[in-house]
Amino acid sequence: TILSQRTTQQDEELAYQELRQLGDWDAIIAAPTEAVAHAIRRSNYPESKAPRIQATLRAIRDERGSYDLDFLAELPVKDALKWLTALPGVGIKTASLVLLFNYARPVFPVDTHVHRVTTRVGVIGRMGEQAAHRALLQLLPPDPPFLFELHLNLLRHGQKVCTWVRPKCPVCVLRARCDAHAIYGNNVPSFGEK
């Protein structure tokens, strides 16, 4: 999940495959950080991700005695989020992705695409991604399959239609319900501009 940050899915997968060529998790921890960074070079910011990946793996192993995170399926969601976000380089988005995608927990990951689409459409007001996690979770049903599908659909919509710069409003299926389109028509400004 750390590899996925600010990286395409294809580059994330290639970086992961090369990372695993270094060996098991213990070997990745023991490898020189430069070797880990080289292995994940296809992901963006490998020089900052490599030490975070090693530190996170080390913290999991040292606390749990293994790399198995299945105990998170039984913890209350609040405790699972707290445990994950205490790891180096793991924020609320990464923790939510792990809990929803791996353990079908009722959380809602808010990445840059989900944040942009929900803000433009008017589901939430202008707020940071941290606040958006809380706001959206309060609005949505605590149904993991629904949250999973909604996350994936908003992510794809943000990648392909409701892009950062020059969103493709003429082909947007949400156009009739979109606050930004109601204000700007087909000339919605880049996200973050007024």
Run of H or E including 107: none
Q: By the 8 A CB rule, do 96 and 147 touch?
A: no
Confidence of residue 6 (pLDDT cuts 50, 70, 90): confident
As to burial, measured by CB atoms within 10 angstroms (0-12 exposed, 13-18 middle, 19+ buried), residue 56 is buried
Residues 32-82: tens digit of each pLDDT = 999 999 999 999 899 999 999 999 999 999 999 999 999 999 999 999 999
Percent of the chain with pLDDT over 90: 88
pLDDT mean across residues, the chain: 94
Q: Are 129 and 158 in contact (CB under 8 A)?
A: no
The residues annotated as belonging to the active site are 93
* pTM (two decimals): 0.88
Q: Tens of pLDDT along 105-114?
A: 999 999 999 9
Report the largest interatomic distance among the alpha carbons of the chain, rounded to a whole angstrom: 56
Place of tokens 């809990």: 99
Q: pLDDT for 84-102, tens place per residue?
A: 999 988 999 999 999 999 9
